[in-house]
A and B are shown apart, each in its own frame.
Chain A
Amino acid sequence: MARKVLITLWMGTTQDRKEGNKKMTALRRKFRTSLLRPALMSTAAIAMLVGLSAPTLAGGTLRIAMTASDIPLPNGQTDQGAEGMRFMGYTVFDALVGYDLSSPDKPVTLIPGLATEWSVDPADTTKWTFKLRPGVKFHDGSDFNAEAVVWNLAKILDKDAPQYDERQAAQGRGRIPSIATYKVVDDMTVEITTKAPEALIPYQMAWIVMSSPAQWEKVGKNWDEFLKAPSGTGPFKVESYVPRERAVLVPNTEYWDKDRISTLDKLVLMPVADPSARVAALRSGQVDWIEAPPSDSIESLRGAGFEITSNVYPHVWPWHFSLLEGSPWTDIRVRKAANLAIDRAGMKELLGGMMVEAKGMVPPTSNWFGNPEFEVKYDPEAAKALLAEAGVSSEKPISVKAIISPSGGGQMEPMLMNELIQQNLAEVGINVEFDVRDWNALLANWRAGAKDPGTAGATVTNSSYFSQDPFTALIRHVDSTLIPPNGTNWGYYSDPEMDALIDQVRNEFDPEKQVKVIQTMHEKFVDEALFLFVAHDVAPRAMTSKVKGFVHPQNWFADLTSVTVE
């Protein structure tokens, strides 16, 4: 009997009603309404939705899943690191100096952007003149001119300017530390002076993008309002921007560079921080392009017909040595031995081919590489010999502690790679203990320096480095004036010869001669084995075969204007 009751309670048969128990029926109805109906409705909804076809590809819409957890701010000097600049910075905005991203085969060089030419005054090498490109308009229709450039520099450098924006300043100020003054010479000419001679100004100016002053005025002189209706001069315009969800960009058909007018209908940016979610989104057809597919998904994505693109770019994954007293790395033989002990080819295999074996701080193909005498390669016997000279053997090993992170931007697959290094180094007599910290904690220590109590006896930190320009690639790690807290010379390296080279780079205004000095500097990096040079990332991306025309340059940035979706 009880069984029947239960069943009728849920099913509500007519027999019950005949019994005339009104209260019971009402209760039951309540039950059904509150519990069953939503369940049935959602079941029906699911059935209905399931019946619908899968999300379809709209013609000419490129949907990209980024690794960032938020949409980069479309204010100009955007956030979210290099990825933010790649997808929001250099799409919606332009800088005075651009990057030539048109070829996958050669290192990226600087080219004219919103400035057609620039020069330094030979009589006073702190004085630069930038000639601007005529006829350029912001997306809101206002003119780009010298006033706009000065306004944009004040936006990040002048705390008293009404358009000063703390967020953009935080991103941009550190990129142009040497700028002292800036002024309008005429409508199409800007003069910039530096605190001291600084030949790297063109590299620095390539970071600084131009937002529209007129648009900022129009939206009530408020940067939060500007985010809702952004305006730059770039090849794409922002159609809509929903924080943490999506940004929809459309081509700027009036773009000043007629060769770079996109034919896409739309460019949709989505933040998908989780790597497996990105892969699933690509495989289910929800996006056309994903950044950084995990290495273990690459083979299967390839097998499923997806295109995997990759290329070496200015990135290095090193071990940064502490050169403080008491560190075993103060002995050049130990540093060289470590560099000879690492099986980089084995590591490459481990990563599914997704790395370039490092032979220095910059990739061997970089024009800054030079001709170092010391060759970074896998030669454990030579390593053992060097260590024996230094009094180290497998019976009398040395022990080091390395700060590493389990993940992080640019860190590739740090646990896997570090375990291989640990094994390789143990084979030659260097015992490694890991101090695993999360990415953010590692960075905080990297800023604090090897002497900081938080370093807790470690003599290595494993932070991957961005090396887009000579400063980030080389100078910041070894300049003796940048020892913490003044900068990021984590290992306290100090060498008058290196400091002299840095001075020379800053004072050499002939680009060709400048490259020569940079090469000499890099040769010194390698010959002194200042770092454990391990790998360069190759920035894998996966996309559907419908994505056409993408050129994967040797850079952090990429030109999206050549891309179409079939």
Chain B
Amino acid sequence: MPVYILKRVAYAVPVALAVSMICFLLVHLAPGDPLSLVLPADANQTTIDATKAKYGLDQPLPAQYFLWLTNVVSGDFGTSIATGRPVVSEIANALTYSLLLALIASVLGLVVGTLLGTVAGYWNGTAIDKIASAVAISGVSLPHYWLGIVLVVIFSVNLNWLPAMGAGESWSAERLKFMVLPAITLAAMPAGIITRSVRALVADTLGKEFVTALEARGLTQTQIFLHVVKNAAPTAIAVIGVQLGYLMAGSILVETVFSWPGTGLLLNTAILQRDIPLLQGTILVLALIFVALNLLVDIVQPMFDPRMKRG
């Protein structure tokens, strides 16, 4: 097992490096200028040059990348060009918001997805299956942005039950109120995907020969079901892991619709302002979280399925 984990961690390093390089290049190749929003539109050349030099933007690209990477490795992500605040604290702050939202949305998506999927898989082919599948497909296909707006129109504007946007004033129970709509919006997609995966798995596993064998041996249906769950779990975990990764990255659209100050909104701001240090830092951290989650899934999966350790 330790060898397996080490191997997986070793694989993650070049992936992370590649990600950092790609994100650096993408940010720099896009047209636009990070200074245009920091400086007044008609700033003179001296001011522009001085500010460029301050952020190292006058250096050639490879030099900029190398400098950035060495700083990042030592934990220094630089300062945001737009606000002058350290990128690390900006990301940490935004991550707290996105993480909380992601966790709630994941739990919601997991519960709804597993329930619907199990029900649909078990009553495979019946009307119940069709309804559950329709709900799942809607969850996957509805654009987040649109769903968020519709929920706001119904629950905030018309019914006046929940706040339409923002995150409230402080970390307290009050904040939960602000999280309900974005969490539901975010959960729709993973719930749909999990439903479909779980449904297929349950239906498939129930038809397997070992189930008949277990029945022949006189196991109770509860015990048999646990066997089914154990067989279906590795795939379900992989699906959930990936979905959690997506949720952790926040959703630019959902967070923007709800003005939720998480990583999605941070990215949106950074993109529009061409705030290069902030943009690079955020993308890198999110990519690393994604890599780490995949790593975690890789490590957890064999615990359920010893066959994978051999592979």
By a beta-carbon cutoff of 8 Å, the part of chain A in contact with chain B is 1-6, 8-10, 16, 19, 21, 24, 27, 35-36, 38-39, 42, 45-46, 49-50, 52, 54-55, 69-70, 73, 79, 81, 166-167, 169-171, 173-175, 177, 224, 243-246, 270-274, 276-277, 280-281, 283-286, 437-441, 443-444, 446-447, 454, 466, 472, 476, 485-488
Contacts and interface: CB of A to CB of B under 8 A. Distances in A.
A49 B83 CA distance: 35
Given A1-B221, A4-B221, A276-B257, A49 B180 contact: yes
A244 B107 contact: no
Given A5-B220, A277-B259, A472-B42, A166 B84 contact: yes
B225 A9 contact: yes
Contacts of A439: 272
B40 interface: yes
A64 B150 CA distance: 23
Given A42-B107, A69-B265, A440-B274, A272 B44 contact: no
Chain B: interface residue count, which band?
A: 35 or more
9 contacts: A16-B222, A39-B111, A244-B265, A245-B166, A245-B261, A276-B257, A283-B157, A284-B156, A284-B163
A286 B163 contact: yes
A483 to B, nearest CB: 12
A49 B177 contact: yes
Contact of B225 (A2, A42, A175): A2
B176 A277 contact: no
Residue of B40, B85, B223, B256 contacting most chain A CB atoms (<10 Å): B40
Interface of B: 31-33, 36-45, 47-48, 51, 54, 82-85, 93-94, 104, 107-108, 110-111, 114-115, 118, 122, 149, 152-153, 156-157, 160-167, 169, 176-177, 180, 206, 220-226, 256-259, 261, 265-266, 268-269, 272-274
A35 B161 contact: no
B107 A39 contact: yes
Contacts of B104: 42
A447 to B, nearest CB: 7
Contacts of A54: 160-161
B45 to A, nearest CB: 5
Contacts of A440: 31-33, 36-37, 272-274
Contacts of B42: 174, 472, 476, 487-488
Given A166-B54, A444-B36, A280 B31 contact: no
Given A444-B33, A454-B31, A8 B166 contact: no
B222 A24 contact: yes
Nearest to B202: A6
B162 A49 contact: yes
Nearest to B40: A174
Is chain A's binding surface mostly helix, strand, loop or mixed? helix
A45 B173 CA distance: 10
Contact of B164 (A39, A42, A70, A286): A286
Given A50-B161, A167-B84, A274 B257 contact: yes
A36 B166 CA distance: 28
B44 A6 contact: no
Given A5-B221, A69-B272, A286-B163, A170 B51 contact: yes
A291 to B, nearest CB: 13
Given A45-B176, A174-B39, A440-B37, A487 B44 contact: yes
Contacts of A280: 149, 152-153, 156-157, 164-165
A474 to B, nearest CB: 12
A174 B47 contact: yes
A170 B166 contact: no
Contacts of B258: 277
A427 B193 CA distance: 52
Nearest to B228: A2
A5 B118 CA distance: 12
B160 A444 contact: no
Given A42-B104, A49-B177, A443-B41, A286 B166 contact: yes
Contacts of B259: 270-274, 277, 281
Contacts of B272: 69, 438-440
Contacts of B40: 171, 174-175
Contacts of A8: 222
Contacts of A46: 180
Nearest to B122: A6
B122 A177 contact: no
A298 B152 CA distance: 18
B162 A485 contact: no
Nearest to A278: B165
Contacts of A52: 177
A209 to B, nearest CB: 14
Contacts of A177: 44
Contacts of A443: 32-33, 36, 41
A79 to B, nearest CB: 7
Query: Sorted from nearest, which 5 A-B pairs have the closest CB atoms?
Result: A5-B221, A284-B156, A440-B32, A280-B164, A54-B160
B47 A277 contact: no
Residue of B54, B85, B222 contacting most chain A CB atoms (<10 Å): B222
Given A177-B44, A486-B45, A50 B162 contact: yes
Contacts of B166: 245-246, 270, 272, 281, 286
Given A49-B180, A52-B177, A274-B256, 11 more contacts: A2-B122, A21-B222, A35-B107, A50-B162, A166-B54, A174-B39, A281-B166, A283-B156, A444-B31, A444-B36, A447-B33
B165 A281 contact: yes
Contacts of A2: 122, 206, 221, 224-225
B132 to A, nearest CB: 14
Nearest to A166: B54
Nearest to A484: B45
B82 A35 contact: no
A546 to B, nearest CB: 16
B98 to A, nearest CB: 13
A468 to B, nearest CB: 11
Nearest to B266: A244
